[in-house]
Structure formats: structure tokens, C-alpha cells
Amino acid sequence: MNIEQNLLTELDISQNIQLEELYCGGNQLTGLNVLQNVDLITLSCANNSISELDLSGNVLIEQVICFNNQITQLDFSQNINLLELSCEKNPLNSLNVTQCPDLNLLYCYEANLSELNLSQNTNLEWLSCHKNNISILNLSQHPNIFFLSCYDNQISSINITSLSNLNTLWANQNNITNIDISQNNTLRVLNISNNPISNIDVSSNLVLREIMFSNSLIQEIDLSNNSNLCKVEGVNNLSLTYVNLKNGNNEIFSGSCSTSTLSLLNNPNLQFICVEDAQYAAATFTDIPPLATFVEDCTIANGDLNHITGTVKYDDENNGCDGGDAGIDGLLVNTTDGTNNFATTTINTGDYNLTVAENTYTTTVLGLSPYFTLSPAQEVDTFVGFNQTEIADFCIAPTTTANDVAVTFVPLNAARPGFEARYKLVYENVGTTQLSGNVELDFDGTLVTYAEATPAETSINGNTISWDYSNLNPFETRTIEVIFEVEQPPIVEEGDVLPYIAKVNPVSGDAAPDDNVFQLNQIAVNSFDPNDKQVLEGYQVLIDDADEYLHYVVRFQNMGTASAINVRVQDALDEKLDWTTFKILDASHAMETQLVNGSIDFIFDDINLPTASSDPEGSQGFVAFKVKPLPTVQLDDVVANKADIYFDFNAAIVTNTVYTRFVDELDVSDFETLKIVAYPNPASDILNIQAEASISSIEIMNVLGQTLLTSKGNSNREQVDVSGLSAGNYFVRVVVGDGSRVLRVVKK
């Protein structure tokens, strides 16, 4: 009987007692009674809404296809003749097939299973149990299994040595630390990606055609015995240093391959790939890291690539760098062979280390302001062979006297009504003189309540918090962690803006006063992704400010079930950003920074990040940095940026994409978020202020925080004459009812 795809809601076959085959899939059945159909051999009832299926009276049944229903329990203890079962995509609590000794095909993937007892199903040939919650899979007595798909479970160990007929194994996305495939001589496809495996031996798998080992802990892999390979895919392996593909094929892959794939991208420590023909491989295979080198002599892999190391110091006395001069932290050191760029940042001692291959490299320090000179301007080194180290020290000296401090205000978590919001004040001396002064933070006391700061504040005056600082040296950065309590609804609702203005003094005499003030308008949210990226300037920037830094923060949190030993954040900068201006502002944990052709890797080794369930605050981390747009950026250009976050061997968590458009006037759509808008912006004479409610007062301040103009209001639209102001940046505080907002405007 075939009655599939008929929109049936009920089916009565109690009188069809001699029915042997029933096909009723693709209907709207919520129940199905086949207990009277004792001769039933084949049942196909997939793609319905059946919640219960009792086959205890169908002892002759051989094939059951019941996938994509609402079945919670399946008991086949009376069905000893069952050969094939397809029960995937059901919310199963239990599956009993222990009395089905002849079962040879089992599909039970995406079925909510936490246990799967197959001890009596020794004739299995095909098993698909992926995307469940299975932690133990015992297949020690199953020599006939040909196809095994158990990926995306919780399996920590698996014994497949008795599977002498195994052809395909998909065991990726588990917790497997070790797997023995030495007895699986017929294996042709192997996927062990996304497992904490540190070693894999495939020397006995001579017919292997495909191997995938991405996101693993493997350090070296030897494929020299695998001359039948057609696909090698091993990306995002932070520990991988060496791949041996010298397998007798000049072209690496077997001539019988219809297509061939070698993908070894995003392995930052991969140094050598041994092959039969290095010249052919280098010209043919491009999905490898820029530093990875094809070699024909595999003994070279016992060594190392080459290194350029050195120290960058600051000659504050302008008499040449010597042992008494301090190293500089956080500077960008780059080396290039004319095609590829490899960069890193100096550590707190000023030291750096760059890994390079054979070639001629030019090394220099990038991102220095015009206040300084670099000596030497660059170093040129040529490497022929490997295991060599060249030293390139640099000395930075002031060329002028420049007082210049800068400040950034970084949100460390999402601002949620009724919850704690944490921030970092980052202030830095980017000039040439030692400075003392104070850092101020203005906030809206109607929306947030100040809780505490580390270090503690020096003073609080209304809604302004102040911290004194002294003896801030050139190139030195300091931070202050600040905590606020966000008011509960209805005072703060989702979509409301929390305005902050940070200022670092002294401003008077500062060579670049614009970066002494930083405004953050943080939008309150109810729900959020703990792994995200933010651009602090927002979705619009005036084209006149395109030569200023964009500030980014990438936040991450371990939402897994075990501590994350290593975390890696990869940020491929938009092509409209000038990676040579990149500068780290702050990070939650110690890290190493590597840049390859403008793509940044923030590497948090041994971070041991706890889980969110065990330590909500400790499970979080972040990295904040700034970078300038390229000088070629034009009106209406959009900069788009996202990040990939890797927790140990797991696949990347891709953050949201943030967009920043360069405009000549800030969009009036800000009104929908801020409830207040100032236009035109920039303004030349009359500045219009519009709000949803009556405006009581308007205050215009310069970047020093000094009030220049005030105006009273009594309507939801007011005008201020700014024709007497000098061209530049200003802040406008608009008071509406019991609240206020601060907007940034530009005077032409």
C-alpha cells in the first residue's frame, strides 16, 4: 500500500491484516497503529508527526523507515528479523535494538540520543549516528561495518581495530584524543577534524584517498605511505609544524583522482611540507600559509625556518640607544620579501621575533608618529637555507618636543538593563615628553550608577569621575577598569543609548587635542552574543575624520563544557583599513600577536579560560585595538569587519560583522536610537536640534570640556547659531525632561 504525500491526518489499516508493505510518508499523521498487521515486512512512515510507534506485534518486519517524526521511544525487542532501520531526526529518549542480531543498516543521526547499545548487532554494515550526545560507542565486535559516521557527539575514545572492512570514517567534532586505525587496511576516507588529537598514524592505510584533520592538536603528520591520496585537508591547526607528503608521486596525488585538494591554510606554525617535486608543488598548491616551505629533503624538517629577532628601544636622552634605555612595548615590527608581509608586536621588554623562510627580507618598525625617528630606518637580511637567525635592533629617538596623550573607552561586555556593565579606560602617552595629569569620565547618572573602579578614583564630582596620574612616559599605556550598574526598565530599555565621554588631561598644549577626548554611545540590549565584535565609532564616520583611528573590540566567552586551554582570535582586516597603523590597546590576558599580509592572529596560549557555567566573569576575554583607514578611502565607502574565534580544537565561532560608512553628514536615522538629532552635521551657521519631547536646554562644549554656548528651549525643535565658533569638533549636551544626551558635531 502506497499512500504517501496525501495530507492524511488519520489512517486505519486494522482490517488489512495481510498487508506486507506500507508506505505512508509525507502526510500529517500524529499516530499509527500497525499491531494488527502481523505480516508487515516494510514500514515507511517518515515525515509525519507521529509521537508513538509500537511494533511489538510485527515480528516479521525487516525494514522500518520512520525518520523526521516526533517519536520519543523505539523498542524493537520483538523484531528479531529487523534488517534496516532509519529513525533519524526524532527526539528519541531511548532506542532498543539489542534483539535485532541481523540489523545491517542503522540511521539514527540527529535523534537526541545519549546512549546507543549495539553490542548484539554484530552484523552491522552501515551506521550513521552523528549529531547526537553519545559519549560511548562500543564497536569492538563489528567486523562488517563498511561506513561509520559518528561525528558531532561527545565521544572521547573509540575502538575500531576490529572493523576490518571499514571504508569511511567520519569521527570529527568529538572529544577523541587518540585513535588506532592501523588495522583498518581498507580505509579510504578519514575525517578526524575538531578533535583534541595530537598524533595520527596512517602508515598502514595504503588505500587512503581522503584525510581531514582540521582544528586538531596534531604537530606532525606523515603521509609518505599514502600514494593513493586525492584530498588532504588540515586547516586551523595551531600546533602543526610539518607535513610529509613525499609519497612517490611527483604531483603528490594519485593520477586516478578526478579532483585533488591540498588545503593547509591557517596553520601559523607550519614550516615544512616535504614532497617529491618542490618546484611543482609550490607552483600548483596555493592553499598553504605564506611561510610554509615545500622541500624535497625531509631531514630539513628536523630543523627550523629562519628568524629575525631584535629589540626596539627608546633613546629618551637622544644620545644613542644603550643598555640603559628601555625597550618599547606594543610596537609593530614588519618584515617583507616584496610579496608577503610578516609582522608582530614587541613585548614589554621591546623584544620581537619574526619567523621567515628562504629569501631576502626588509625589516622595519611601522606606525611611528612624525615625532620620532627610527635608526636604522630598515634592516635587510638574506637567508639561503634554514636554521639561521639574524638580529635587527632598532633605536627610536624624538625629533621634537611634543606633549600628546590619547584616551579610549572600551566596553568589556554588553550593557543590559538591570545588570553590571564593565569598561576599560585606556590612556597612552603618544608624545615625546613625560606627562602628569588626570583622566575624567562623564556619564549619565539617570541611566547608570557608578559602582567602582580599579585603581580607585581620585574624586567624583556629580557625574564626572576623575583619576590623577603622574610620570606617564612616552610609549607607555595605562588602564583603569570601571564598573557601572545599568538602571532597570523602564528607566533603561533595550535600544536606549548610554553616553560616555572620556577625557585625558593635560589638553592645553597637547599636539593633537582631538584624541584627548573619546565618546562612546553604547546601546542597551536585552539579549546578546558573548562572542562579538564592536566598532566603537559606530556605523557612521564623517569623511573629514577618515584619517583618524577606528577602534575595535573583540569579546569572547567560553560557553563550552570544559576549560579552553588555548584561544585564538583571527581578524582579517578590511582591505580599506591600513594594517600598517595597527596598534593594540589592551587585552584581557597575555597573548602573542602575529600579522600575515594584514590578517591578524591574537594567540592566547595557556589561557585556561574557565566555562561560563563555572565562572561567568572569568570565562570572558577580549582584545581591543585601533587601526586607521587607508588614505584612499572615499565618501560612501564601507568598512566591514568580523573575527573568527577558535577555542582549542573547535571550529571557528564567527562573530557578527560590523560596518562603518564614511559620510559627509551624520544620518538623521541616529534620531531613532538617540531620540535626539543634530543637523546639518557638519554645520556652518545654524545647528538644528530635534527631539521627541520638549528640549529644556542645550550646551555646546569644546574638546576641553569648556562650555562655549548655552541655550534654553521649550519645544522639540530648537536652533543654535554656531557661526561664531571656530571650525572643529564640539560636543552638544541636550537636556530633555529628566534625561540628557551628548552628541558630537562638526563646525565647518
Write the DSSP assignment of 217-228 as a string of letters: ---EEE-TT-TT
Q: Which of 223, 237, 211, 213 is nearest to 292 (CA)?
A: 237
Starting at the edge strand found earlier in the chain, the sheet holding 540-542 runs 540-542, 658-663, 638-641
Q: Do residues 231 and 254 make contact, with C-beta atoms less than 8 angstroms apart?
A: no
What is the distance of C-alpha 386 from the center of its chain?
A: 33
Q: Which of 242, 359, 348 is nearest to 584 (CA)?
A: 348
Alpha helices, DSSP H, located in 129-205: none
pTM: 0.82
Q: Please give the angle made by the CA atoms of 448, 451 and 457, to the nearest 5 degrees.
A: 115
Cell digits of residue 740: 540628557
What pLDDT score does 591 carry? 96
- Return the CATH superfamily for domain 407-528: ntegrin, alpha v. Chain A, domain 3 (2.60.40.1510)
Q: What residues contact residue 361 under an 8 Å CB cut-off, 6+ apart?
A: 308, 335, 336, 337, 380, 381, 382, 383
Where in the chain are the domains? 306-398, 407-528, 529-664, 670-747
What pLDDT score does 667 carry? 57
Q: Do residues 80 and 98 make contact, with C-beta atoms less than 8 angstroms apart?
A: no
CB under 8 A, 24+ apart: contacts of 106-115: 107/67, 108/132, 109/149, 111/87
Q: Quick one: pLDDT band at residue 668, thresholds 50, 70, 90?
A: very low
Q: Quick one: pLDDT band at residue 254, thresholds 50, 70, 90?
A: confident
What pLDDT score does 547 carry? 94
Q: Each residue of 21-73: pLDDT tens digit?
A: 999 999 999 999 999 999 999 999 999 999 999 999 999 999 999 999 999 99
Write out the CATH class of domain 670-747: mainly beta
What pLDDT score does 672 carry? 38
Residue 289: asked if its preceding bond is cis (omega within 30°), the reply is no
SS3 295: strand
What number does CATH give the domain 529-664? 2.60.40.740
Q: Which of 46, 47, 71, 75 is nearest to 61 (CA)?
A: 75
What pLDDT score does 115 carry? 95
What pLDDT score does 702 carry? 84
Of the chain, the percentage scoring pLDDT greater than 90 comes to 83
Q: Which of 246, 286, 244 is nearest to 265 (CA)?
A: 286
The CATH architecture to which 306-398 belongs is Sandwich (2.60)
Q: Mean of the pLDDT values across residues 126-149? A: 96
What pLDDT score does 583 carry? 97
How far is residue 581's CA from residue 631's CA, in Å, rounded to a whole number?
A: 11
Q: Do residues 497 and 741 make contact, with C-beta atoms less than 8 angstroms apart?
A: yes
Q: Please give the angle made by the CA atoms of 173, 176 and 180, to the nearest 5 degrees.
A: 120
Provide the phi-psi class of 118: left if phi over 0, else alpha when psi is between -120 and 50, else beta. Answer: alpha
Distances (CA, A) of 46 to 27, 67, 319, 404, 539: 9, 5, 83, 71, 48
Q: Quick one: pLDDT band at residue 151, thresholds 50, 70, 90?
A: very high
Cell digits of residue 209: 584517498
What pLDDT score does 735 carry? 83
Cell digits of residue 666: 551624520
CB atoms within 10 A of CB 64: 24
Q: Do residues 289 and 356 make contact, with C-beta atoms less than 8 angstroms apart?
A: no
Q: Mean of the pLDDT values across residues 11-28? A: 95
How far is residue 100's CA from residue 81's CA, in Å, rounded to a whole number?
A: 6
> Which residue(s) pair with 639 in the sheet?
660
Q: What residues contact residue 355 under an 8 Å CB cut-off, 6+ apart?
A: 271, 291, 305, 306, 307, 342
How far is residue 683's CA from residue 634's CA, in Å, rounded to a whole number?
A: 20
- Is the pLDDT at 692 greater than 90? The verdict is no
363-395 as b/e, with b when 16 or more CB fall inside 10 Å?
Answer: bbbbbeeebbebeeeebebebeebebebebebb
Q: Which residue has the higher pLDDT, 688 or 334?
A: 334
Least confident among 119-128, 314-323, 424-433, 682-691:
682-691
> Which residue(s) pair with 678 in the sheet?
689
Q: What string of H, E and C letters represents the secondary structure of 713-734?
A: CCCCEEEEECCCCCCEEEEEEE
SS3 299: helix
- Is the pLDDT at 589 greater than 60? The verdict is yes
Of the chain, the percentage scoring pLDDT greater than 70 comes to 98
Q: Mean of the pLDDT values across residues 159-163? A: 95
Q: Each residue of 722-744: pLDDT tens digit?
A: 999 988 888 888 887 766 777 87
Q: Maximum Cα–Cα distance for the chain, whole Å? A: 105
Q: Quick one: pLDDT band at residue 453, thresholds 50, 70, 90?
A: very high
306-398 and 670-747 have identical folds: yes
Q: Mean of the pLDDT values across residues 261-269? A: 94
- Is the pLDDT at 502 greater than 80? The verdict is yes
- Is the pLDDT at 673 greater than 70? The verdict is no
Cell digits of residue 378: 630598515
What pLDDT score does 361 carry? 98
Residue 616: asked if its preceding bond is cis (omega within 30°), the reply is no
Q: Which amino acid is at 701?
A: M
What pLDDT score does 671 carry? 37
CA atoms within 13 A on the CB side of 539: 9
Q: Each residue of 460-493: pLDDT tens digit?
A: 999 999 999 999 999 999 999 999 999 998 888 8
The one-character DSSP state at 564 is: B
